[in-house]
Amino acid sequence: MGLDQYAFTIDKKSETVGIAEWRKHNRLQGWMENLWEQKNNPNQNTDYDPFAFSGVELELTAKDIDNLEKAIMSLDLPETEGFFFGPDSYFCSDDEGNPLPTSEYGYREEDLCFIKEAREAIAKGKKVFYGSDF
C-alpha cells in the first residue's frame, strides 16, 4: 500500500490516455491537494469522505501547469506527510546512499516531463487531470 498518483488526458471523443505516474511523491500530492482546495474541492468523493482528496480527479488548466512548473523549478512544493506517503519527496540519495542536494530531487525529471506532456495535450484541446489513491 502507498500513495499512487497518475495524470491523464481526455480528448473530445472521451478517449483517455495516461501521461504520467508517480509513487509516493508526497510533495506533488500536497501541491495538488492545495490546488483542489483553492478550486473549492471539485469532484468531491462524497461516498468516502467529502473532504478527502484521495480518489478525486482534478482537472488542470494551462495556468495550473505554469504554476506547478514554477513550484518545481523553485523547489516550492510543500512538505506533505501522510501514513502511506513514504519519506519526503525531496530526499534522494546516490547509489551509495549519500544524500543529494534537493535541487536534484528524484522526481524532478518526471515532473518536468509531465509539464511538457500536459502543455502539449492542452494545446491540442485535450483536458488534463491528476488523480491519486492510497
What's the grid cell of residue 68? Answer: 506547478
Place of cell 483553492: 38
- SS3 at position 113: helix
How does 72-108 read in b/e, with b if 16+ C-beta sit within 10 Å?
beeeebeebeeeebeeebbebeeeeeeeeeeeebebb
State pTM to two decimals.
Answer: 0.84
pLDDT in tens, the chain (134 residues): 688 999 999 999 999 999 999 998 999 999 999 999 999 888 876 666 655 888 889 999 999 999 999 999 988 999 887 767 777 777 766 666 666 666 667 788 899 999 999 999 999 999 999 999 87
Longest dimension (CA), the chain: 48
